[in-house]
Chains A and B, each alone.
Chain A
Amino acid sequence: NMTSISEDSDKEKMRSVSVDLNNDASLVIDIPDALCERDKVKFTVHTKTTLSSFQKPEFSVPRQHEDFIWLHDTIVETEEYAGFIIPPAPPKPDFEGPREKMHKLGEGESSMTKEEYAKMKQELEAEYLAVFKKTVQVHEVFLQRLSSHPMFRKDRNFQIFLEYDQDLSVRRKNAKEMFGGFFKNMVKSADEVLISGVKEVDEFFEQEKNFLLDYSIKIKDATAKAEKMTRSHKNVADDYNHISGALNNTAADNNTAFKKHLEKCAEVFEKLRKVEDRMASDQELKLTELLRYYTRDIQAAKDLLYRRARALADYENSNKALDKARLKGKDVAQAEENQKQCLQKFDKLSESGKKELTSFKARRVVAFRKNLIEMTELEIKHAKNSVSLLQGSIEILKSN
């Protein structure tokens, strides 16, 4: 089952989760194309650049999801970048939802009419396509976050990712390293305790810490609730489809005048379904996707705080070690050097961290604004469509 995507206008609409991307013409990245083969998605990563560090001014490479994860992890593990918010890794493409529905549809085929089946199949295909588009978008945004960041764009591994025209799988994690990643996640929750325990002297970071800790919980919850809401909306649209089918069934048997009436009603429900569906998808794209993305981004910001908190802990430990060394009169120089380095690291993290967190907030606010406006405008547009559709139909039905 191969699906490909190359529509610019739609993607333009979808890029609004992170707004300040692709502004710099010296390095422009996009994913114009993707193929879906069974479970695997192959993204075509296309780069246009004026930078001399690249071999060619324009080129494309095929990449899989795992390649993106590799890139993300190597950046996270790079010590130099500890003071930056690392763009969150794109989630794995998840076609489970539409696939399950497709399976159920196949099982229930015998119990519905040909028209109903065809309609539901069409819808499922659209849903499949929507999931597909979403995953392309989220992978694209990840790369664009990297390319628009002054430090990440120069990263050697990033360049390899963009340019290397062979399979990257040799560089990808082997099983052991992936297991290591699992441990890292466990350590994270310990970090959470760590940063809540740290005595903060800097007012800015104190506020940020409290804000991020609380906000991450709330936004995760909001994402889950938005997902449920959108799902219900889709269920209602499905019901309109069934009702339309049942009305058509009834129409088949009736006397002429009423038959036309019923058929008209069936048509109304069919159209309603389409509008309802669009409303639900747009809400998902603008609201749920926004919340999902920023849940991940907030986590990335928290990660920065952990790293800084660890650096602070290291600095405090180095102080203690220095005092001990001075007391004992042994290895004082070494302890002094260690303490100096820890302080340097901590200061560097604090300085860049402050910048990152400030620009992060600005970015978040702009993205929310853009998406909320777009969502509202779409809701209004769809509702107005519904009204004119319904009123038109009422007129026809009344005059019959």
Chain B
Amino acid sequence: MSCMRRFCHETQSHDSLHSCMCRRSVALLLLKMSEERDPAALSGSAQTEGEEDLFVSAMESPEAARLSAEDISPSSNGPRDDDPDDPDDLFAEATEEVSLDSPERQPILSDGPSPAITPVTISPRVDVFDRSPDLDEDEEENRDTFDIQISVSDPEKVGDGMNAYMVYKVMTKTSLSIFSRDEVCVKRRFSDFLGLHSKLASKYMHMGYIVPPAPEKSIVGMTKVKVGKEDLSSVEFVEKRRSALERYLLRTVKHPALLKDPDVLQFLESSELPRAVSTQALSGAGILRMVNKAADAVNKMTIKMNESDAWFEEKQQQFENLDVQLRKLHASVESLVCHRKELSVNTASFAKSAAMLGNSEDHTALSRALSQLAEVEEKIDQLHQDQSYADFYLISELLGDYVRLITAVKGVFDQRMKAWAKWQDAQVMLQRKREAEAKLQYASKPDKLQQATDEIREEIEEWEGKVQQGERDFEQISKNIRREVGRFEKDRVKDFRVVIIKYLESLVHTQQQLIKYWEAFLPEAKAIA
């Protein structure tokens, strides 16, 4: 927080304040949060979650690697080809679900050469996906040396009028080997972030991974910026968005699987990125998304799952509760931010008034003291404003992020329900086929009997396979969710602990400044004679 203070004292106007204010400090703050992971704490936990099982099925599936077409071209992503020790089994898992004839497959909404729709294109890298029994340790090692810094900065407006957009500089500094360089700088626009999230969600959500949600769109906010309003609210909006984008990326790379995802790597490293047009709110894909969301909601209501595992029931209830509690806490903090801003404005207003009073006062010593009082109050109003930024960026935005994250967590539980439903449906179909087979004995004409029997036999085999697959998928997603939830809870506790302390420290700083200002004023007051 110290750099924030420095910035605040250096800049005079409130406008320039925003452009430098929280950026560095928040980035460093979030970074510290991720760096402060205690390596020792992680050692025991991963083993028990049976992660070796994750990848059993992976190697049995020969299906398409879920990679974007660009990855397949030899010109990109060089070093990863060379590294055979990369526990890329996680990607293998990603390939599993892309069964092109699966009836429940959701349309993939990332654009450009969409990977899932591209028929079986086996990248040479698939062979590199060695099954690694040491995944646990690798994941921990990753966390131990979680050496990656990401910053989103320098928002720039490109173009004019309604077609204008903001471009942000995304800088990645890392010593991790999966990156091609130590330091990369790329330019990205908001829809690129949305596109990234979209791809990640479609790849990983159905497997039970908690994919961090992207920052929210804001048509009103963006329109103001496009139209060229250079006022305080536009500047604040851009800063708020910039900070949100930075947190989004940091959270994404904190996830061990997502960190290695080629889309993520491409996002961070490639100088050119195909434009994600399908992320626009009113595009065809956008509408399709809404339709799917509605369908999901209906499904949720109609799927009555036979929960055999109390853990899931408990956890779901817990997350429901947490959702309510966090929203309430968030609302209180938002109120604090608002009132603190008001306090700042009112203090400034009083300061001016006190200065005028001091000018009017005809007793010299009192006049001087009143002017000094005005100066103190002016400094205090700046203090209040700084504190309101701390209120906002440290706590309010974090809570907002977690409210959205919880939605993602709840989504993952829904995915498990869907997997269960699919499995059950397959069982029902299998049963029907078996019944049909039994009936065949009496129904068909003798000459057609053999053909019919063969057909039905084939179908039964097919559905038996599907039932097994369904069961495996369900168990898989259940395991994944357990692990993800464990990770989420740990992160949540860690985040809150760190942030609360940072926030209290910001309050300490404010109070110490107050003491300083008032102690300087006291002799002035005493000097009135």
10 contacts between A and B (CB under 8 A): A218-B357, A221-B353, A225-B354, A268-B504, A365-B363, A369-B526, A383-B512, A383-B518, A386-B508, A387-B508
Residue total for B at the interface (Cβ-Cβ under 8 A): 54
> How far does the alpha carbon of A253 sit from the alpha carbon of B343 in the complex, in Å?
34
* A177 to B: closest C-beta gap in Å: 36
**Stretch from B240-248, B305-313, B319-327 forming part of the interface with A:** B319-327
Q: Are A225 and B518 in contact (CB under 8 A)?
A: no
Q: Which of B488-529 contact A (CB under 8 A)?
A: 493, 496-497, 500-501, 504-505, 507-508, 511-512, 514-515, 518-519, 521-522, 525-526, 528
State whether the Cβ of A132 lies closer than 8 Å to any Cβ in chain B: no
- Interface range, A side: 35 or more
State whether the Cβ of A265 lies closer than 8 Å to any Cβ in chain B: yes
Q: Are A369 and B525 in contact (CB under 8 A)?
A: yes
**Stretch from A59-67, A147-155, A226-234 forming part of the interface with B:** A226-234
State whether the Cβ of A246 lies closer than 8 Å to any Cβ in chain B: yes
> How far does the alpha carbon of A394 sit from the alpha carbon of B501 in the complex, in Å?
6
Q: List, in ascending order, chain A residues with CB within 8 A of B356's CB.
A: 218, 221-222
Q: Are B332 and A222 in contact (CB under 8 A)?
A: no
Q: List, in ascending order, chain A residues with CB within 8 A of B518's CB.
A: 376, 379-380, 383
State whether the Cβ of A19 lies closer than 8 Å to any Cβ in chain B: no
State whether the Cβ of B366 lies closer than 8 Å to any Cβ in chain A: yes
* B235 to A: closest C-beta gap in Å: 23
* A138 to B: closest C-beta gap in Å: 21
* Chain B, Cβ-Cβ closest to A291: B357
State whether A368 and B528 are in contact (beta carbons under 8 Å apart), knowing that A243-B333, A387-B515, A397-B500 are contacts in the complex.
yes
> How far does the alpha carbon of A397 sit from the alpha carbon of B503 in the complex, in Å?
12
State whether A242 and B335 are in contact (beta carbons under 8 Å apart), knowing that A236-B340, A377-B522 are contacts in the complex.
yes
Q: Are A232 and B353 in contact (CB under 8 A)?
A: no
State whether A232 and B342 are in contact (beta carbons under 8 Å apart), knowing that A215-B360, A246-B328, A376-B521 are contacts in the complex.
yes
Residues of A within 8 A of B (CB): 207, 211, 214-215, 218-219, 221-222, 224-226, 228-229, 231-233, 235-236, 238-240, 242-243, 245-247, 249-250, 253, 258, 261, 265, 268, 272, 361, 364-365, 368-369, 372-373, 376-377, 379-380, 383-384, 386-387, 390-391, 393-394, 397-398
> How far does the alpha carbon of A221 sit from the alpha carbon of B350 in the complex, in Å?
9
* A165 to B: closest C-beta gap in Å: 43
5 extra interchain contacts, Cβ-Cβ under 8 A, other than A239-B333, A386-B507?
Answer: A219-B357, A233-B343, A242-B335, A250-B326, A364-B363
Q: Which of B358-377 contact A (CB under 8 A)?
A: 359-363, 365-366, 369-370, 373
Secondary structure of the A side of the interface?
A: helix
Q: List, in ascending order, chain B residues with CB within 8 A of A384's CB.
A: 511, 515
Q: List, in ascending order, chain B residues with CB within 8 A of A377's CB.
A: 522
> How far does the alpha carbon of A228 sit from the alpha carbon of B322 in the complex, in Å?
36
Q: Are B525 and A372 in contact (CB under 8 A)?
A: yes
Secondary structure of the B side of the interface?
A: helix
Q: Are B332 and A253 in contact (CB under 8 A)?
A: no
* Chain B, Cβ-Cβ closest to A207: B362
Q: Are A226 and B350 in contact (CB under 8 A)?
A: yes
Q: Are A253 and B322 in contact (CB under 8 A)?
A: yes
State whether the Cβ of B339 lies closer than 8 Å to any Cβ in chain A: yes
Partner of A246, one of B332, B359, B501: B332
Q: Are A373 and B525 in contact (CB under 8 A)?
A: yes
* Chain B, Cβ-Cβ closest to A233: B343
State whether the Cβ of B151 lies closer than 8 Å to any Cβ in chain A: no
Q: List, in ascending order, chain B residues with CB within 8 A of A369's CB.
A: 366, 369, 525-526, 528
* A286 to B: closest C-beta gap in Å: 11
Q: List, in ascending order, chain A residues with CB within 8 A of B332's CB.
A: 239, 242-243, 245-246
State whether the Cβ of B318 lies closer than 8 Å to any Cβ in chain A: yes
Q: Are B508 and A390 in contact (CB under 8 A)?
A: yes
Q: Are A246 and B325 in contact (CB under 8 A)?
A: yes
Q: List, in ascending order, chain B residues with CB within 8 A of A398's CB.
A: 501
State whether the Cβ of B42 lies closer than 8 Å to any Cβ in chain A: no
Q: List, in ascending order, chain A residues with CB within 8 A of B145's CB.
A: none
* Chain B, Cβ-Cβ closest to A226: B350
Q: Are B504 and A394 in contact (CB under 8 A)?
A: yes
Q: List, in ascending order, chain B residues with CB within 8 A of A376's CB.
A: 518, 521-522, 525
Q: Are A383 and B511 in contact (CB under 8 A)?
A: yes
> How far does the alpha carbon of A124 sit from the alpha carbon of B444 in the complex, in Å?
86
* B506 to A: closest C-beta gap in Å: 10
Q: List, in ascending order, chain B residues with CB within 8 A of A245's CB.
A: 332
State whether the Cβ of B196 lies closer than 8 Å to any Cβ in chain A: no
Q: List, in ascending order, chain B residues with CB within 8 A of A224's CB.
A: 353
Q: List, in ascending order, chain A residues with CB within 8 A of B366's CB.
A: 364-365, 368-369
> How far does the alpha carbon of A229 sit from the alpha carbon of B347 in the complex, in Å?
6
State whether A229 and B322 are in contact (beta carbons under 8 Å apart), knowing that A258-B493, A380-B515 are contacts in the complex.
no
Q: List, in ascending order, chain A residues with CB within 8 A of B363's CB.
A: 361, 364-365
> How far does the alpha carbon of A105 sit from the alpha carbon of B395 in the complex, in Å?
27
Q: List, in ascending order, chain A residues with CB within 8 A of B526's CB.
A: 369, 373
Specify which of B321, B326, B329, B340 lies most central, judged by the most chain A CB atoms within 10 Å of its CB.
B329
* B32 to A: closest C-beta gap in Å: 14
> How far does the alpha carbon of A222 sit from the alpha carbon of B370 in the complex, in Å?
11
> How far does the alpha carbon of A247 sit from the alpha carbon of B496 in the complex, in Å?
12
* A186 to B: closest C-beta gap in Å: 26
Q: List, in ascending order, chain A residues with CB within 8 A of B280's CB.
A: none
State whether the Cβ of B346 lies closer than 8 Å to any Cβ in chain A: yes
